[in-house]
Amino acid sequence: MATKEYAFYPGCSSQKGASASNYLTSVEAMCKTLDVKLTEIPDWNCCGASIGYAEAGELPRHVLNARNFALSEQHMPGKEIVATCAACWLGARETRERLTHSETLMADTREALKEAGLTINEMPNIRHMVEVLIEDLGFDEMKKHVVRPLEGVKIAGYVGCQTNRPFGVDGESFENPQYLDKMVEMVGAEPIPDYEQKVTCCGGALAFSEPEKAQAQIKDIVESAYDHGAEMIVTPCPLCQANVEIYQGQVNKRYGTKFDIPVMYYSQLMVVAYGGDAKAAGLNGQVIKARRLEEIAAKQVKR
């Protein structure tokens, strides 16, 4: 019997062979250590992300998220929904908020869901994985499992936008949230409290459609990490991770920089600190290899 159980909404990017598949790999290993049981919502669908807005309209967007709520209720009544992706979490939370505050929107959503043979009776709680870690488990519990502290590794905590705004993690400020730095500290590494690009936007979907605009922002985010002597960047968001990591080569061409800094998920740091190997931490999924972490992950753990 697991300590904590949740309905799990992994999201499109974490599927096998997709852009954040290594995030899921590390989350699975992390949850195994922490005895957190995630049960995937059967046949879950895309949240529509923020960028779907031109065609989505209001109701279709909420209906799309509501289908996941309905499936979760049908298969795992009463369970909270946990998302690992910032956009999934944000989209689902926004739908929860709107439907809770508008009887009309709720009634319209129920009518549309009927077409898929589904219904919602109770609105589920929508949680991000970092909320589960911080609020349900706590830093002391997370720290207990550290057997291989990432000593001497300097890491810039890049929170980004959608895990931070407009909802954010309870008790944190929008301008300077502390939890990611605390997590870096928790795994035994060295945080950079003065990292001023902590909540800068990575450009989101504009990294695809208008790369020059997004890459100007990515440049600031990476440059500041270097300025503070970071060896790697860590983030809780799949799109932040991808944008900040995979376009460094293009940024280098555009600006004449020589960026080559690994961008990790908090869960990867935790798996390595918990004694997991490189594969369990999804380190093979880095486009810019995290050599320092690979070295640490190869070390024997004294138990």
Partner 1 sequence: MSANTVVAEKYRNNFLKEIEEQVEMGDWVKMCMQCGVCSGSCPTNFQSAWEHPPQELFMMIRAGKREEVLTSTSMWNCTSCYNCIVRCPRKIPITHIMHGIAEYAHRIGMAPKMQATRFFSGLFWKNCTHTGRVNELKLSLGLYFKDGFVQGVKNGMAMQSVALGLVKAGRLNVLELFGGHKCKDQKGIHAMLAKAYEIERVRKAAKMAG
Binding interface with partner 1 (CB under 8 A): 12-13, 15-22, 43-46, 48-60, 62-64, 67, 108-109, 111-118, 161-162, 165-166, 168, 174, 200-201, 203-206, 208-210, 212-214, 216-217, 242, 246-247, 249-250, 284-287
Closer to partner 1 by CB, 70 or 183: give it.
70
Strand partners, 9: 83
> Is-contact 200 243, C-beta < 8 A?
no
Q: At what angle do helices 238-246 and 211-227 cross, to 10 degrees?
A: 90
Closer to partner 1 by CB, 186 or 234: give it.
234
- DSSP secondary structure, 22-53, as one string: HHHHHHHHHHHHHTEEEEEPTT-----TGGGH
Q: How far is the CB of 205 from partner 1 (least distance, A)?
A: 6
Q: How far is the CB of 125 from partner 1 (least distance, A)?
A: 21
Distance of CA 89 to the CA centre of its chain: 9
Put residue 157 in one of left, alpha, beta given phi > 0 → left and psi -120 to 50 → alpha: beta
> Is-contact 255 219, C-beta < 8 A?
yes
Q: At what angle do helices 103-114 and 59-75 cross, to 10 degrees?
A: 70
Closer to partner 1 by CB, 208 or 229: give it.
208
Q: How far is the CB of 104 from partner 1 (least distance, A)?
A: 8
Q: Which two tokens stand for residue 23?
A: 């995030």
Closer to partner 1 by CB, 72 or 217: give it.
217
Q: How far is the CB of 101 from partner 1 (least distance, A)?
A: 12
Q: How far is the CB of 96 from partner 1 (least distance, A)?
A: 15
Q: How far is the CB of 219 from partner 1 (least distance, A)?
A: 10
> Is-contact 233 226, C-beta < 8 A?
no
Cα–Cα distance for residue pair 119/109, rounded to 1 Å? 9
Q: How far is the CB of 61 from partner 1 (least distance, A)?
A: 9
Closer to partner 1 by CB, 289 or 299: give it.
289
Closer to partner 1 by CB, 76 or 218: give it.
218
Is residue 83 classed as helix, strand or coil in its secondary structure? strand
